[in-house]
Amino acid sequence: MIKDISNFQNVFFIGIAGVGMSAIAQYLKGIGKDVSGSDRYFHPDEFNPTKNLLEAEGIQCFLQDGSGISEDTDLVVVSTAIEDTVFEVQKAKALSIPIIKRSELLAIIAQSKKTIAVAGTSGKSTTSAMLYQILNDAGLSPSIISGAGLTSLIKQGKIGNAAVGKGEWLIIEADESDGSVVQYKPEIGLLLNIDKDHQEIDELIQLFTIFKGNTHHRFIVNQSNLLAKDLSSDKSSDFGFETPEAGYCITDFHQEGFHLSFRIQNQVFEMNAIGRHSAENAAAAIAVAHSVGVSLEVCAQSLAQYEGIYRRHQILGQKNGVWVIDDYAHNPAKCASSIKACQLVAGEGRLITWFQPHGYKPTRFLKQDFIDEISAALRPQDEILMSEIFYAGGTAVKDISANDLVLGIKEKGKKACFIEHRAEIIPYLSQHLHSGDILLLMGARDPSLETFAKEVFNGLLANSF
């Protein structure tokens, strides 16, 4: 049985191209493990950017045909999306190779370091990236296993969602979507927010309460979030937006284009980012960093250089007077926050948003929340476009459509349009965009979204508004 990071050397990942799997694979390679893996997106004689970057790190990649698993394999890792019927799982069982889930392995890794676990239904990847940069700039040389690529690491030719430092701290994301948040026992636990996503609120509160109980040293929460603040242990360690009771209270927030500023404990912070939620995420990172001895001045100097993460309000550029922003937002709270953040950039101008929901079950579960929160966020001049729900395969019951969300938003008096096929988006935009508009693209899980966003951006070049 695998209970410690020293219990294995040769590890194989089924579904290694997934962002959570590839991060752990790179981390293990970085600490000297023999790592390999397969993925259904790997095909013969077909270039795959993730495969290429993994192999550049010395991680051997295979087709998902079982050829990478042998008697020399000590451990096989699967994500929650990998079913027992997959041939490679069957082969591992036949060879009596231990099989564990990604979250179980992450919990084992976390036991080997002083760990900071970032939890909450929104903002985990961004906050983890900000905290990593601050601790790195402070000379603490942290490690990180993240759910998104950091721009600073991507520029080094890496996937960007993992790094191995020489210091004692490891930053991880504690995911509530699969319930695995309860598996981690960090030195410092950070709770950003609690909003309906994947589970009902009562279930989420139960998970985060257990997470709090598992935290060894300090538990830090967002006093601005009505549900999260009820789990506070020490308000002097907490953060929040204009919450005087919080030790790290955000005041004097100001957004000017793609630049924001705010103040915490009389220290001015400036960042190239957008939205109140960005300031909240930064305050969370600041609260943790300051608790481990980093001065607020160093925090400010570091965040001023923060370059962001992959597909989190990623600014693709401006074409014909239209700014295009690509974002990973996918649940109701995230979509509403993303819309509100981009409205600050648009000013009195229009915000045109495109959104592709993912998964029939989560869309059905969150249907009314999507309708309510997106409708409340949209202004009279704004419009949201939706294409059909992304389907990743499996046995999902297709009894809901993105058009159901559109109709609900229209009933609330807001502008919404269902464009079933993404191929029709660029022609639609060419007829409806005007110079001065902001175009926000939102969606998750679909690996083709980055390519689609670039296609939309490049398509604007051929049109004059």
At a CB cut-off of 8 Å and minimum separation 6, what does 349 contact?
Answer: 381, 436, 437, 438
Kindly tell me the sign of the dihedral angle through the C-alpha atoms of 155, 157, 160, 162.
negative
CA 111 – CA 339 distance, rounded (Å): 38
Neighbours of 372 (CB within 10 A): 15
CA 436 – CA 367 distance, rounded (Å): 31
Reading the block at residue 415, the tokens are 């502008």
In the three-class reduction of DSSP (H, G, I as helix; E, B as strand; rest coil), residue 82 is classed as: coil
- 10-101 sits in which CATH class? alpha beta
CA 58 – CA 68 distance, rounded (Å): 14
What are 25-65's pLDDT values in tens digits? 999 999 999 999 999 889 998 999 999 999 999 999 999 99
The distance from CA 375 to its chain's CA centroid, rounded to whole angstroms, is 23
Q: Which amino acid is at 199?
A: Q
What pLDDT, on a 0 to 100 scale, did the predictor assign at position 333? 87
CA 171 – CA 450 distance, rounded (Å): 26
Contact 190, 127 (CB under 8 A): yes
Q: Name the pairing type of β-strands 143-145 and 162-163.
A: antiparallel
The pTM of the whole model exceeds 0.75: yes
CA 453 – CA 335 distance, rounded (Å): 17
Reference 277, options 123, 131, 146, 128; nearest CA is 123
User: What is 113-305's CATH topology?
Assistant: UDP-N-acetylmuramoyl-L-alanine:D-glutamate ligase (3.40.1190)
pLDDT per residue, tens digit, the chain (465 aa), is 789 999 999 999 999 999 999 999 999 999 999 999 999 889 998 999 999 999 999 999 999 999 999 999 999 999 877 778 889 999 999 999 999 999 999 999 999 999 999 999 989 999 999 999 999 999 999 999 999 999 999 999 999 999 999 999 999 999 988 888 999 999 999 999 998 666 688 899 999 999 999 999 999 999 999 999 999 999 999 999 999 999 999 999 999 989 999 999 999 999 999 999 999 999 999 999 999 999 999 999 999 999 999 888 889 999 889 999 999 898 898 899 999 999 999 999 999 999 999 999 899 989 999 999 999 999 999 999 999 999 877 667 889 999 999 999 999 999 999 999 999 999 999 889 999 999 999 998 888 998 999 999 998 755 555
As a whole number of Å, the end-to-end CA separation of the chain is 63
The single-letter DSSP state of residue 412 is: T
What pLDDT, on a 0 to 100 scale, did the predictor assign at position 1? 78
Angle at Cα 208 formed by Cα 207 and Cα 209, nearest 5°?
90
Its CATH architecture, for the domain 314-460, is Alpha-Beta Complex (3.90)
Contact 50, 17 (CB under 8 A): yes
Could you identify the residue written with the tokens 């937002």?
329
Reading the block at residue 330, the tokens are 């996918």
What pLDDT, on a 0 to 100 scale, did the predictor assign at position 397? 81
CA 249 – CA 223 distance, rounded (Å): 9
In the three-class reduction of DSSP (H, G, I as helix; E, B as strand; rest coil), residue 400 is classed as: coil
What pLDDT, on a 0 to 100 scale, did the predictor assign at position 85? 82
What pLDDT, on a 0 to 100 scale, did the predictor assign at position 465? 52
Q: Name the pairing type of β-strands 169-173 and 188-191.
A: unpaired
Could you identify the residue written with the tokens 């309708």?
371
What is the residue extent of each domain of the chain? 10-101, 113-305, 314-460
